[in-house]
Amino acid sequence: MKKIIFDTDIGVDDAFALACAARTQQILGITTVFGNVAVGQAVKNARLFSQLIGCNAPVFRGCSRPLALSPSASATTVHGGDGLGDVLDNPFDEEAGNAVSFIIDTVRALPHEVTLVAIGPLTNIAAAINLAPDIIPLVKELVMMGGAFGTNGHAGNVTPHSEFNIWKDPHAADQVFSSALPVTVLPLDVTHEVLITGDEIRALNMPVLEQISRGYLQYSLAREGFEGMALHDTLTILWLTHPELFVTVSAPVRVVTEGITLGQTLHKVSPLASRFDPYADCRAQTLCLGVEAEKVKAAFLAILQR
């Protein structure tokens, strides 16, 4: 069990990840960010879902827009207008303490003990290390869901090149990857390999997950002919519990911040010298590019069926 700060733009698959984290990790706090929904809605969702699953972690309000780009629309087509499938009454308000300050203060108070788990845009993380670069060597690890590197054809899900979390704030992602933070990346290369069916969701010991995923499953069935979903964000937690089930490479990463490939994640693939090296001074990060999908899914099901 690790001490984690759970950074989320909480939508349907984020809720699955939070349910898994609540059963396996010590959640110090939940920090919210824009992405699947506006940040205020993310605060409401985090409070509501935490109450429904018996998680007592405090909730904090983070960044409401990207560092440099104009804000883009929320993912209401997939996650519903409220981010949780539009099936739950939500009595909670949007006000909360400052997420970036919470990250900074917690890491300083618990040096080398805090794992940051980021499953939305990386804006809160970038803001924290920009405001307080002294925390960078104090973070145990940043485990994040985002990016796509093209393994087995797994490219972008917003554009042909770009994954949603990175595309929402590519400048923040590039700052994080270019920093000295130790990062483990769970990209679409592995998350698209781990699929759960509607029947498997309905068989879980968590009716609330079945409720909030109905619209998501209908969208998937209509668009892809598959009544199911990828366990995108949950793989960050399964990395913490079962790292041996992933195949990794070590390489520095950068993010494209302009042009038709905006939001594309690139890693250095050759040690050969070049005239200009955009990866110079970037630390090698851990990229999960392979996964034992059935074993990971079995581990997830076992956690939620306890």
The predicted-structure confidence for 207-242, as pLDDT tens digits, reads as follows 999 999 999 999 889 988 889 999 999 999 999 999
Give the lowest-confidence range in 70-74, 173-177, 232-236. 70-74
pLDDT at 75: 86
pLDDT (average), residues 87-109: 97
Centre a 10 Å sphere on the Cβ of residue 38 and count the other Cβ atoms it contains. Answer: 18
pLDDT (average), residues 97-109: 98
* Strand residue runs (E) in 10-98: 26-32, 59-61, 97-98
What are the structural domain ranges in the chain? 3-304
Share of the chain above pLDDT 90, in %: 90
pLDDT at 76: 83
Q: Is the pLDDT of residue 269 over 90?
A: no
Sign of CA dihedral 179, 181, 184, 185: negative
CA distance 222 to 214: 12
The CATH number that domain 3-304 falls under is: 3.90.245.10
Residue 26, helix vs strand vs coil: strand
Out of 161, 232, 242, 267, pick the active-site residue: 232
232 is catalytic: yes
* Strand residue runs (E) in 146-245: 183-186, 195-197, 228-230
Question: Which residues are CB-contacts of 296 (< 8 A; sequence separation ≥ 6)?
Answer: 194, 231, 235, 238, 242, 245, 246
Q: Is the pLDDT of residue 121 over 90?
A: yes
Q: End-to-end distance of the chain based on CA atoms, in angstroms?
A: 16
Q: Express each pLDDT in 12-26 by its tens digit.
A: 999 999 999 999 999
pLDDT (average), residues 114-136: 98
Q: Express each pLDDT in 271-305 by its tens digit.
A: 776 788 899 889 999 999 999 999 999 999 999 98
Q: Is the pLDDT of residue 86 over 80?
A: yes
pLDDT at 306: 77
10 Å CB burial of residue 83 (0-12, 13-18, 19+) is buried
Return mean pLDDT, the chain: 96
Task: Pick 168 or 78 by higher pLDDT.
Answer: 168
